[in-house]
Amino acid sequence: MRRFAIISLVLITALALGLVSTVRAQSDITICFGFQDLETEFWVAGHKAITETLRGQGIEVLEYNANEDPNRQLEQVRECIAQGVDGIIIIPQDGDSAVTIINEAQASDVPIAVFNRPPNDRSRGITVVADNVSATEQAVEFMAQQALVKWAVTGNTVQPLILVGALQDTNAIGRREGFFNVITRYSEKYPGLFAEPIEVATEWDAATALANLEAAITANPNVDFIFTSSDFLFPTIRSVLEPRGKWVPRGDANHVIMGGLDGDATACQLIDQGFVDATGVQDLFLEAELTMDRLLEAIANGETQPNEVLLDPGFALSAANIQFDRSDMWGCVLLDEGFLDQ
Amino acid sequence: MDQGNLTHPWSTTQRLTIEGCTVSTVNDRLSQLQSLTRRKKSHSASSSTATQMIRKLLLSDYFVLYLTLILFMSAAVFFPTLGTPGNIANQLQNMWPLLAVAIGQTFVLILGGIDLSLGATMGFTSVVGAIVMAQNLDPAFFDKSPLWGTLMRPEGGLLAGSALAVPVGVLVMLIVGTSIGFLNGYAITRFKMAPFMVTLVTSTFFAGFALWLTQSRNISGLPEAFIELGKGDIVSVYLGPKLTPDIARRDILQFITYPFVIAVGLAILAQFLLSKTVFGRQMFSIGTNRVTSDISGLPSQSVIIRVYMFSGFCAAVASILYSARLAIGQPSLGGGNLLLDIIGAAVIGGTSLFGGKGSVRGTFFGVAFFVLLLNILNAMRLDPFVIDAVKGGFILLAALVDVTRTRLMNREQRA
């Protein structure tokens, strides 16, 4: 009975505190922001950029975490609509469910914007997305040039490997496409440079990536070229390569040519240290700004079904240009602000 | 009367009062003592009344309903949006798929088991149904599927374009869900394996199988008739003056929808099975004491298998509702925290984790409470990361209430 009373007390206190905390000034505009679990630096930084900027403008933000469940996100968006929000920003779980959620919001005359993870049908809603193919191509191009140098010196065929994201996510598809575009082009131009690439499924999950990468490297110990579809997997790659003596900086004979995409603080630090060669950068701050500005404009103009695709061209940050373009990469900005020390 | 000479003046006075005599107290001490004892007795009586009320409330079948109503009314004072027709209609729509799957878990819990494979069953049946019904399939996404070229083709699934696609697809989903339940029940009874382990393995297997078949892609392009099952409405209402020729979609409230009809129909069937059939009584008996039931000659194995089959069937029904409203066959459907929600709703509804106790009505109240709780936590603008922790706390509280209820019931039975 005592345990019962203690837990009841804790829950009632939590509810009461919540009630008290909700007694706050109500603003004129309310934006509903639905996201998935913030498992990577990119999403953490994106979430922070959006919520802080909106609140800084005196806008009330209703936050909903769907825990990677698209059905839950649909319920949350419906709840937002029922509460009479003025606009919705979502980070969907995948491109298919995003289409249904956009339709739901637009059918109820609520403007909706999709941040970074685009719907499969981009004809409806405001979609802000990085050009994944282009950003990946730029990063892999730099890696391929490094491979060419290595091949010229050693004469050994380079074995590429790609960590593929969850393929229901159009970002993952674009990054895979960008990777293969460059590998194919170089293979055609320089026969014998690259062996058949190995694909490792990650489902955007570090544990899955670890298990699959471990198996792939055990079966193919000659892998010396790794591209990860997201920078958040660099620690995972390190835990697989380090025991094998392959986690070494540029200049070492055992160095694995490595690249990724996102441009997070860890990638910036690893390029600084020489472990990573290049990363495709999504301009997170630009994307957040584009999302908010266009949505607020739609609300101000009374547009209930704004449809527009806003593209972040992205760029590659590599060992060659990090000293010049460092300040343009959001991850380096966070790194220099001590993000990884928090 | 000289009170000072009485050894027990107090009891004498009481007795005399009871007999209708007028008692004149001769000293103040006695008067004080009388007053004190009356207060004590009255306090003890009111305390015992309060305890009895709490006991009654805890043992009541409507405990969760009362709790839900109290919570709703108190929260609506602080958050008026909770009581708006739009919000109520929306929360009701959120209830139906969860209710469908929670009914299956309720049956299994009454039996003293647990079904951890419900989520994976939903994901797998969602994929299987979509493979039958899909109107088109993109080779770029599915050409590596083991079913490509046979059951999956560019022009769609097995029955793409056929009028039978939806009825057959739905039927296949129900059969597959029920079959997974049969597999669970058979392994538990035939090999005497723990339900926890069997359903965990089934869950892992079918979740992986669904991902393999689809290469982790969602299957879109489902027929409109199927999508209607997830969001189509039968009765919608508009409350308010008609100021413009067109009524905005957000102002039209869906009350009686296809998911409502399907989930409530399933609930009525389940309640009938539980309360009006021998099968239902056998379930409670096995859940209360398996050994005694076996000795009494109850067909325990058959009942257990049928219960798990029903659980799989309910998961398939929920899968139909979830897949239809998202308009995709989703291999990861049922993942994440959904299993916690399912078990939580059943337990909050009074279904005992120890078996032998539970009702569909209770689960209905549990689902309502759960959905309302989430709605309130969201309305409170709590940090979204705190909401899950509070939700977990309430499930723990419900489990403790369950233990307390069981103890009280046992005590009353002994008395």
Say yes or no for a CB contact (<8 Å) between A71 and B325. Answer: yes
Q: How many domains does chain B have?
A: 1
Of the candidates B78, B248, B404, the beta carbon closest to that of A4 is on B404
Say yes or no for a CB contact (<8 Å) between B216 and A166. Answer: yes
Mean pLDDT, range B78-90, rounded to an integer: 87
Residue of B nearest to A22 (CA): B380
A199 and A54 together in one domain: no
Q: What's the CATH number where B296 sits?
A: 1.10.3470
| Burial state string for B298-335 with b = 16 or more CB within 10 A and e = fewer than 16 | bebeebbbbbbbbbbbbbbbbbbbbbbbbbbbbbbbbb
Q: Could you report the predicted ipTM of this complex, rounded to two decimals? A: 0.78
B73 assigned to some structural domain: no
A5 assigned to some structural domain: no
What residues 220-259 of chain A have any CB closer than 8 A to a CB of chain B? none
Q: How many domains does chain A have?
A: 2
A169 and A266 together in one domain: yes
A110 and A250 together in one domain: no
Q: Are B371 and B282 in contact (CB under 8 A)?
A: no
Length of chain A, please?
A: 342
pLDDT for A46: 85
A63 and A199 together in one domain: no
Per-residue pLDDT tens digits for B372-395: 988 888 888 777 778 888 888 887
For the CA atoms of B55, B59, B60, B66, what is the dihedral angle to 10 degrees? 70
A93 and A183 together in one domain: no
Stronger pLDDT, B174 or A304, i.e. the higher one = B174
Radius of gyration of chain A (CA): 22
Question: How far apart are the CA of A81 and the nearest CA of chain B, in angstroms?
Answer: 7
Phi-psi region of B20 (alpha: psi -120 to 50; beta: other; left: phi over 0): left
Chain B contacts of A90, Cβ < 8 Å? none
What are the φ/ψ torsions at residue B198 (nearest 5 degrees)?
-60, -50
- Residue B207 lies in domain: 78-334
pLDDT for B32: 61
A163 and A79 together in one domain: no
Q: Are B323 and B333 in contact (CB under 8 A)?
A: yes
A145 and A272 together in one domain: yes
B252 assigned to some structural domain: yes
A88 and A145 together in one domain: no
Among A264, A321, A288, which residue's Cα sits nearest to residue A48? A288
B349 assigned to some structural domain: no
Question: How far apart are the CA of A30 and the nearest CA of chain B, in angstroms?
Answer: 12
Q: Are A124 and A305 in contact (CB under 8 A)?
A: yes
A176 and A114 together in one domain: no
Mean pLDDT, range B67-82, rounded to an integer: 88
A176 and A308 together in one domain: no
Phi-psi region of A251 (alpha: psi -120 to 50; beta: other; left: phi over 0): left
Q: Are B262 and B100 in contact (CB under 8 A)?
A: yes
| Burial state string for B162-178 with b = 16 or more CB within 10 A and e = fewer than 16 | beebbebbbebbbebbb
Task: Please tell me whether residue A194 adopts helix, strand or coil conformation.
Answer: strand
Query: A249-263, B243-257, B275-289: lowest mean pLDDT where?
Result: B243-257
A141 and A260 together in one domain: yes
Q: What's the CATH number where A192 sits?
A: 3.40.50.2300
Q: Across the strands, what pairs with A160?
A: A225
Per-residue pLDDT tens digits for A183-212: 999 999 999 999 999 999 998 888 989 999
Per-residue pLDDT tens digits for B47-73: 677 777 777 777 777 888 888 898 899
B91 assigned to some structural domain: yes
* DSSP-derived pairing of the beta strands A278-281 and A315-318: antiparallel
A260 and A288 together in one domain: no
User: The pTM is what?
Assistant: 0.79
Confidence of residue B3 (pLDDT cuts 50, 70, 90): very low
Per-residue pLDDT tens digits for B317-343: 999 999 999 999 999 898 878 898 899
- Residue A233 lies in domain: 132-282+316-341
Residue A5 in contact with partner chain B when CB distance is under 8 A: no
A135 sits in which H/E element = helix A132-154
CA–CA dist B288, A3 (Å, integer):
26
A7 assigned to some structural domain: no
pLDDT for B9: 42
Residue B255 in contact with partner chain A when CB distance is under 8 A: no
B388 assigned to some structural domain: no
